[in-house]
Structure 1
Amino acid sequence: MDIINIHQAKTHLSRLVEKAARGEPFIIAKAGRPLVKVVPLDQDLPAPADRVGFMAGEIGVPDDFDRMGQKEIEALFGVDGT
């Protein structure tokens, strides 16, 4: 397995990534010390989970939600609720 120094990896990144994707992994080193191993992905990445509606049926909103605490809020502002 090839060991590539970090400067060389930055200079030839596209070529090195193509090489790894073809099944030829390599190691990136800094000052001669191995840091990371670049290998091809063996499988497709999982699709992100759908977030819209993920809690459907889990939360209930009261019918008077838009009026909850109305009297207390009006009292704070000195508004007569009549």
Structure 2
Amino acid sequence: MDRMARQYNVHEAKTHLSRILEQVESGDEVVISRAGRPVARLVPVHRGAHLASYGSLRGQLEIPEDFDELPDDIADAFGMR
């Protein structure tokens, strides 16, 4: 189902933020405009989306000792040697 996005100016969006969020939660897209020009689009977060928390990859990544060292050819290309 393709719905037309409801558009709010910045003042309306600030005044009715809770109502706008309810619309987005129900699946609607909302456009925020400044002086009649769209500047932002609010869309629902997909139900399966997982927001990672700080440190959630601890123990799953390994950074090699030479991570900060550039290969000679790249360092030369950037005039770093």
TM-score, reference length from structure 2: 0.57
Q: Which has the larger Rg?
A: 1
- Which sections of structure 1, spanning at least 5 residues, go unmatched? 60-82
Given the alignment, which residue of 19, 31, 36 partners 2:23? 19
> RMSD between aligned alpha carbons?
2.2
Whole-Å separation in 1 of the counterparts to 2:50 and 2:61: 21
Given the alignment, which residue of 22, 30, 33 partners 1:29? 33
Given the alignment, which residue of 9, 14, 17 partners 1:10? 14
- Which sections of structure 2, spanning at least 5 residues, go unmatched? 66-81
Structure with greater helix percent: 1
TM-score, reference length from structure 1: 0.56
Identity score, percent: 35
Report runs of 4+ in structure 1 exceeding 4 Å deviation.
53-56
